[in-house]
Amino acid sequence: MAYDACMISRSLDQTRKIAREALKDLAPNKDGATIVALSGELGSGKTTFAKAFAEALGLNPEDVTSPTFVIEKRFDLGNHAHFKKFVHIDAYRLEKAEEIERLGWKDTIRDKANLVLIEWPENIGRALPQHSKRISFSFIDENSREIVFN
């Protein structure tokens, strides 16, 4: 799956499969952290995608919950081929770029060994680097979602 694609998921299992495929196709950024930004309405599939992404990295998906209140969770990836840390950020409660910068954002995105997945990236505005991979989620119906990679 290329990061210029549109997929339709008709189930949680399909969303999980799409997340696993997205990780396989994700090339590490040579200039800093690899950043994947997930946008979409509440309940559109961002956290399901994040859990499947983490599971494909070898993490227990039960440990990956949306960090809405703590904003950021970090996971060591051990001997992963490309990444040493998975950083899961939920920016839902943030209102401006300065708030994420207080959390050591610049150091996080500078480290090439980090894979950063951020939900609600629109809430940090200009702090999100241009090279970030963007994935948007939209409701089609109760069970179906459109997932757009760009």
Q: Which residues make Cβ contacts (< 8 Å) with residue 13, sequence separation at least 6?
A: none
In a 10 Å sphere around its CB, with 0-12 CB exposed, 13-18 middle and 19+ buried, how is residue 66 labelled?
A: middle
**pLDDT truncated to tens, each residue of the chain (150 aa)?**
556 789 999 998 999 899 999 998 898 999 999 999 999 998 888 988 999 989 999 898 777 766 566 688 999 998 888 899 999 999 998 988 889 988 899 999 999 999 999 999 999 989 999 999 999 999 999 889 999 998
| Pair type for strands 5-9 and 34-40 | unpaired
Domains of the chain: 5-149 (3.40.50.300)
pLDDT for 2: 57
Give the chain's end-to-end CA distance (angstroms, integer). 11
99 in helix, strand or coil? helix
pLDDT for 74: 92
